[in-house]
Amino acid sequence: MNATPGAAPDAGSDPAPGLAPDPGPDPAPGPAPDPALSPTSGPAPGSVRDGVPGDPVAALVGRQIRQALRTVGAVAALLAGPPVLAMWVPDPRAWVVLSLVVQGVWVGLAVLQLRRAERMER
Amino acid sequence: MNVAVLTGIAFVLVLGVMAGAARPRRVSGVLVAARGVPPWWNGAAISSEFTSAAACLGTAGLIATHGSPMLWYPTGAAAGFVVILALVVAPLRRSGTYTLPGFAEWRLRSARLRRLTTCCVLVVGLAFMVAQLHAAGVVVRLLTGLPPWLGWAAVAAAALAVAVGGGLGSVTSVQAAQFWLKLIVFLGVGIVCWWLAEEGAVAWFEGAYRGGGAGLAGAGDPSLPGVLAVLLACALGTMGLPHVIMRVHTDRDGHAARRSMVATQAMLAAFCVVPPLYGLMGHARLRGAAADEIVLLLPARLFPGATGEVLTGLLAAGAFAAFLATAAGVLAAVGGALSARASRAGARSFRAAVVAVLAAALGLTAVTAPGASVALVLLGLSLSAATFCPLLVLGIWWRRLTDAGAAAGIVLGGGSTAVLVIGEQTGVRMGALTSCPAPVAVPVAFATMVLVSLATPGRTPRDVGRMMARMHLPEHLAGPLTYRSSHRDDR
């Protein structure tokens, strides 16, 4: 139960300044927050059902918010990154292509977030 | 040109109303969205309500008139749905509340907070409605020469028929069909123009930021800080749009809600080709026109004669599908929020609320001058980012949030947004970052909510642990205590 209140204020205030040019202090601002997650998402889903000491709801909430913040951090980086990088690329074709590529990346990111969130709830 | 355009517009309006009104009018179906809509279908409905006049006409026009920095606006608009998916959608669906005021009252046990959030929902909804009505007026005046109020009246009447006749359940089917219509029309006509047009139809503008005048709420600011501020407002504001939030409850459960967000994301990605496509062609041929008019003027400019007229008629039909989709969705969502606020809610108070909201929107449209639709939509997004975004994020993830904290955050966030926008409009310049109010107002709202909540620990709802379990435990693990039918007082 104690893990949540500590983590959540960051949860709230992070995404806001995180979208400014520097992507913020999130754990994985890059587009591939893969390796850190797979071990944490797997373990003991049964604990939610069994009601083991240490409040399973808070544990699940903690895992979910960490995953959600990774995704939001990636969104912040990908949202602010391309417009900033484009400053040094005067070719307009690159701007158009980049803006379309980012749209594709959102779909990929959404699928990734969906899979991870569902795996934690299994 | 009149015949093709009027035929197209009439076709869409009649089709929309028929599809909407043909559904059964059960009382429960009026407000409660028809449960168990497949994610793909609901995703199309969400995309349909989201791709309003601003997305179909306004963004392309801004790209044509303001150049390359506007290319990033569509990416910001779509990013909002990744944020919703990560932070909001499944817990909100599982909470069983399906309006923002309903969520605020359930989570923080405060009827006053419900009233406050209802006011915010009303303002955000009206900004969207007025944008659609003005755009409809512009289209009618531009293409047929008839007075603009005919366009307002057509959209208002059709939206009223859809919202009152069928409620949210039928709106889903109308919306989903209209999304495919819009996608096919705008993409198809755009590609036809691109291929058939002779040399010189496309102008590649210079890829650069520059200083420049910003419109209402920072729309069209071509400087890098201005663009980033708008992107922030889009990414965080989408989660508070009443018509998007209401759609979440058309899904069967939290899993389905997440999946429909992914479907929305995929469909928006398909639609996002439209603004740059028309923007580039418009930049070459129609640099002097107003932003919202460029898309519609393009086919006739490229192909004088019958081809241009038919293509223009198709685009007008698509544009009216966009106005109708957003107007009906916002109307149903805001009407639902307002009527649930009345003590004895039901089909009758829902209909009364819908009529009242529509009358207010028409009145506002009549007394304001038509501007760029993107600016009004951005105003709604900025306000939503500074009020509903902190309320939803902290309410879902932080158990120490209190009603006093939430109210203070909403008042300060919404207030600073209003001050910045009014200051900007009256000519007070406060630096580049304040052209769009979100970078100032969103941190203010978050900080206020956290600090005031920490200062009022005694006001945390007593059963917050049960609420957290209800929001976060997946359905198959939840016991009978956390069943998730909608609240009776939400109905």
DSSP per-residue letters across B106-160: HHH--HHHHHHHHHHHHHHHHHHHHHHHHHHHHHHHHHH---HHHHHHHHHHHHH
Q: What is the pLDDT of residue B386?
A: 93
**How far is Cα B275 from Cα A31, in angstroms, rounded to an integer?**
25
Q: What is the pLDDT of residue B450?
A: 94
**How far is Cα B135 from Cα B58, in angstroms, rounded to an integer?**
9
Q: What is the pLDDT of residue B396?
A: 92
Least confident range from A69-78, B159-168, B283-292: namely B159-168
- Asked if the model's pLDDT at residue B399 lies above 80, the reply is yes
Band the pLDDT of A115: cuts 50, 70, 90. Answer: very high
CA angle B386, A10, B471 (to 5 degrees): 80
Output B37 or B393, whichever has higher pLDDT. Answer: B393
| CB-CB neighbours of B354 under 10 Å | 23
**How far is Cα B410 from Cα B404, in angstroms, rounded to an integer?**
10
Q: What percent of chain B has pLDDT over 70?
A: 83
Q: What is the pLDDT of residue B284?
A: 79
- Please check whether residue B408 touches A, CB under 8 A: no
Q: What is the average pLDDT across B278-307? A: 81
CB contact (8 A) between residue B398 and residue A19: no
Band the pLDDT of B36: cuts 50, 70, 90. Answer: low
| CB nearest to B82's CB, from A48, A89, A113 | A113
Q: What is the pLDDT of residue B335?
A: 85
CB contact (8 A) between residue A106 and residue B468: no
Length of chain B: 491
Number of domains in chain A: 1
Band the pLDDT of B56: cuts 50, 70, 90. Answer: confident
CB contact (8 A) between residue B79 and residue A94: no
Q: What is the pLDDT of residue B288?
A: 73
Q: What is the pLDDT of residue B326?
A: 86
List pLDDT tens digits, range A27-36: 333 333 333 3
List pLDDT tens digits, range B61-103: 888 888 888 889 999 989 999 999 999 999 998 888 878 888 9
Q: What is the pLDDT of residue B360?
A: 92
| CB nearest to B228's CB, from A19, A64, A106 | A19
- Please check whether residue B464 touches A, CB under 8 A: no
List pLDDT tens digits, range B470-481: 888 887 776 544
Q: What is the average pLDDT across B303-331? A: 84
| CB-CB neighbours of B483 under 10 Å | 10
Q: Which range scores top for mean pLDDT: B219-228, B258-267, B306-315?
A: B258-267
**How far is Cα B209 from Cα B3, in angstroms, rounded to an integer?**
42
CB contact (8 A) between residue A79 and residue B69: no
Output A18 or B394, whichever has higher pLDDT. Answer: B394
Band the pLDDT of B41: cuts 50, 70, 90. Answer: confident
DSSP codes, B309-322: HHHHHHHHHHHHHH
Q: What is the average pLDDT across B266-270? A: 91
| CB-CB neighbours of B328 under 10 Å | 33
| CB nearest to B231's CB, from A7, A79, A110 | A79
Band the pLDDT of B202: cuts 50, 70, 90. Answer: low
Band the pLDDT of A71: cuts 50, 70, 90. Answer: very high
**How far is Cα B485 from Cα B452, in angstroms, rounded to an integer?**
32
CB contact (8 A) between residue A107 and residue B280: no
Substitution target in B46, B68, B75 with the highest count of A β-carbons within 10 Å is B75
- Asked if the model's pLDDT at residue A21 lies above 50, the reply is no
| CB nearest to B273's CB, from A100, A106, A107 | A100
Distance from the Cα of A35 to chain B's closest Cα (Å) equals 18
- Please check whether residue B410 touches A, CB under 8 A: no
- Please check whether residue B465 touches A, CB under 8 A: yes
**How far is Cα B231 from Cα B218, in angstroms, rounded to an integer?**
11
Chain A residue with minimal CA distance to B445? A13
Token digits for A105? 């990346």
Contact residues, B window 411-450, toward A, CB-based 8 Å cutoff: 439, 442-443, 446-447, 449-450
- Please check whether residue B142 touches A, CB under 8 A: no
Pairs of residues, one from chain A and one from chain B, whose beta carbons lie less than 8 Å apart: 180
Token digits for B320? 């009216």
> For A3-38, b where at least 16 C-beta lie within 10 A, e where not — what string?
bbeebbbbbbbbbbbbbbeebbebebbeeebeeebe
Band the pLDDT of B21: cuts 50, 70, 90. Answer: low
**How far is Cα B305 from Cα B215, in angstroms, rounded to an integer?**
35
Least confident range from A31-40, B193-202, B330-339, B357-366: namely A31-40
List pLDDT tens digits, range B337-377: 887 655 455 677 788 888 889 999 999 888 887 777 788 88
Q: What is the average pLDDT across A96-113? A: 92
| CB-CB neighbours of B423 under 10 Å | 14
Give contacts of A64 with chain B, Cβ < 8 Å.
472
- Asked if the model's pLDDT at residue B167 lies above 80, the reply is no
Q: What is the average pLDDT across B295-319? A: 83
Residue type, B30: V
Distance from the Cα of B469 to chain A's closest Cα (Å) equals 6
Range of the domain at A94: 3-121
**How far is Cα B136 from Cα B122, in angstroms, rounded to an integer?**
21
Mean model confidence pLDDT for chain B: 81
Q: What is the average pLDDT across B135-143? A: 86
* Inter-residue contact B409 to B122 (CB < 8 Å): no
The phi, psi pair for B346, rounded to 5°, reads 170, -175
- Asked if the model's pLDDT at residue B204 lies above 50, the reply is yes
- Please check whether residue B306 touches A, CB under 8 A: no
* Residue keyed to tokens 């009252």: B105
Residue A45's SS3 state is: coil
Q: What is the pLDDT of residue B490?
A: 39
Token digits for B172? 């889903």
Band the pLDDT of B430: cuts 50, 70, 90. Answer: low
Least confident range from A82-96, B135-149, B209-223, B429-443: namely B209-223
Q: What is the pLDDT of residue B280?
A: 84
Which residues are within 8 A (CB) of B315 and not within 5 positions of it... i.e. 6 or more apart? B8, B185, B186, B189, B295, B296, B299
The phi, psi pair for B329, rounded to 5°, reads -65, -45
Band the pLDDT of B2: cuts 50, 70, 90. Answer: low
Q: What is the average pLDDT across B275-291? A: 81
Q: Would you kindly state where each structural domain of chain B is located, as residue ranges?
A: 2-373
Residue type, B15: L
Give contacts of B64 with chain A, Cβ < 8 Å.
none
| CB nearest to A57's CB, from B261, B394, B472 | B472
Alpha carbon B408 to its chain centroid, in Å, reads 25
Give contacts of A102 with chain B, Cβ < 8 Å.
75
Q: What is the average pLDDT across B184-191? A: 88
Output A33 or B238, whichever has higher pLDDT. Answer: B238
CA angle B420, B422, B423 (to 5 degrees): 60
- CATH superfamily, domain B2-373, is Sodium/glucose cotransporter (1.20.1730.10)
Alpha carbon B123 to its chain centroid, in Å, reads 12
Q: What is the pLDDT of residue B262?
A: 94
Residue type, B215: G
Output B209 or B294, whichever has higher pLDDT. Answer: B294
Distance from the Cα of A93 to chain B's closest Cα (Å) equals 7
CB contact (8 A) between residue A58 and residue B439: no
**How far is Cα B326 from Cα B126, in angstroms, rounded to an integer?**
11
- Please check whether residue B383 touches A, CB under 8 A: no
- Asked if the model's pLDDT at residue B321 lies above 80, the reply is yes
CB contact (8 A) between residue A79 and residue B439: no
* Inter-residue contact B239 to B45 (CB < 8 Å): no
Q: What is the pLDDT of residue A74?
A: 94
